[in-house]
Structure formats: structure tokens, C-alpha cells
Amino acid sequence: MKTTDVPQDLEYFKDNVIRDVMYAVDDEGRYTGVLSDGWSVKNDALSAVWDDIREQCEVIRQQVLRHEVSPLAYHLKKQLQTVGMLAAYAEVPKRMVKKHLKYKEFIKIDDETLQKYADALRITTDELKRADEWK
């Protein structure tokens, strides 16, 4: 692909600073990095993945509403984090994170731990306590 042919299908990077770097052949035949605003094929794949994640989040949200799991489970999925990642970011033992995925344990969490989780997930403690519908 030539540098002039690098796709610029702006969708996911719209209004963001993030851009892809693609490698293409310049006028002198050398490979060079070219900034791209996206590629429709990649955008379609990302859309499919995000649709799947939204569906999974909705299943978890319904479980939260039935008090089967805690809102923490919903936010973990929504933020694409694992128990291990959240434990590391929040500086909380993994076993404690697993415990707090249970609704009955989550409602007992002290404010300091709630704040650690919220900070690690980059949301407020009020948002952490809810599992709002993803729009």
C-alpha cells in the first residue's frame, strides 16, 4: 500500500487524539509509518466486538438488578478489566475483589475501598454503586 492509500475512515478516533500508525511504501519505495484516522474494515470489527461487550454488560446488569452479582462485576466488564487488573490498580488483594463481586459482600464495603475501586475504574463512587444502562 502506498502512503497516499492509507485509509482515513474516521469513526472510532473521531474527536480523539489517538490515531493508528500504519506502514506503507513512500514515493522512494521505503516503508514508513503513516498516521491513519481509521479503516472501515477495522471499524466494522470493532463495532462487532463492542456490540458483544454491550450484550455481556446487559446480562450482568440484569444480574445486578436481581442482586445476583454486585455492580462491581458490571463495571469490570464495561471497563474491560479483570479481577487481577482491578486488584493491582486499586491496590486491593485479588481475593477481596472476588469477594466484592458478590452483591451481599459489596454492600458492606467501606468508603475507602469503594473509593479505591472507583478511582481504578475512573468513575465516581455513586456510579460504582449503580449499573446504569449502557448508552
Give the pLDDT confidence score for residue 34 in this predicted structure.
Answer: 79
Q: Which pLDDT tens digit goes with each residue over 6-65?
A: 656 666 555 555 667 778 888 888 888 877 766 677 777 878 998 999 999 999 999 999
Give the pLDDT confidence score for residue 107 in this predicted structure.
Answer: 95
The model's pTM is 0.73
**Residue bearing cell 462487532:** 48
Q: Is the pLDDT of residue 113 over 60?
A: yes
Which of the pair, 39 or 79, is modelled with greater confidence? 79
Residues 8 and 35: their CA atoms lie apart, in Å, by 9
Give the pLDDT confidence score for residue 42 in this predicted structure.
Answer: 73
Residues 107 and 69: their CA atoms lie apart, in Å, by 11
Residues 105 and 3: their CA atoms lie apart, in Å, by 55
Residues 90 and 84: their CA atoms lie apart, in Å, by 10
Q: Is the pLDDT of residue 134 over 60?
A: yes
Q: Is the pLDDT of residue 5 over 70?
A: no
